[in-house]
Chain A
C-alpha cells in the first residue's frame, strides 16, 4: 500500500514564479515529513522537513506546509529558478517505525 502519494508526476513553471508541489499521506502515525530533491544520476538530497507539531517551516526560498487534518503537505518554492529543475520526493516517518516512506516523486521543470 502506498502510504505517501504524490499525484502529480510533473510540473512546469516559469522562472520567478511560485512552484507548489503536493503530497498526501494515509498513515496517521507519521509525525515527521521531509522533502528530498534528486538530480539525474545522483542520489536524493535532503531539502526541508517539518514536524507534525508545526504547520509551517521555512528555509530561504523553500516553505513546507502541513495540514494534519487533511493529511496533506506541500512544498512552495518562491521564486523558482532553473536550477530547481529536479525530481522532488516527499517522505514521511514516525517515532515508532524505523523506516521512511517515499512518494513517487514530482518532476519540476523551471523554464527560463
Chain B
C-alpha cells in the first residue's frame, strides 16, 4: 500500500528555474496539503485542497502554485526558484482536517543555489 508518494526526493535548482513537485495518494482522501519544513522550524502550510478543483492558500503561499485536477494528485509548482525556497517539502492527505490525522509522504529536499 503506497499511501502518499512524492517525487523527486532530492533536487537542486538554480535561481530562477522552475520545477514541479509531484504528489499522489491512493487512499481516496479529499483533503491534500503541501507543507515546508525549515531547519529548527515546524511545518508551515503552503497550500491545501479540500477536493478536486478546489485549492486555497495556507500560511506561506508566495512563490508557489498548485492545482488539483484529480482526487489523487496535488502537484506543487515553483515558478521562479529563490534561495529562500530551499527547504524540505512534505505532501500530506487526510479524510478531513478538523478531527483527522494527516498522512505524510517521505518528503522532497529542494536546494536552490
Q: Does A70 contact B (CB under 8 A)?
A: no
B1-58, CB < 8 A from A:
4, 31, 33, 35, 40-45, 48, 50, 56, 58
B42-101, CB < 8 A from A:
42-45, 48, 50, 56, 58-59, 90, 92, 97-99, 101
Structural contact, B98 and A49, CB atoms closer than 8 A: no
Quick one: given A41-B106, A43-B4, are A98 and B42 in contact (CB under 8 Å)?
Answer: no
Q: Does A11 contact B (CB under 8 A)?
A: no
Structural contact, B42 and A46, CB atoms closer than 8 A: no
Quick one: given A43-B4, A44-B90, A104-B42, are A98 and B48 in contact (CB under 8 Å)?
Answer: yes
Q: Interface on A for B, CB 8 Å cutoff? A: 2, 4, 6, 9, 31-32, 34, 36, 41-46, 49, 51, 89, 91, 93-95, 97-105
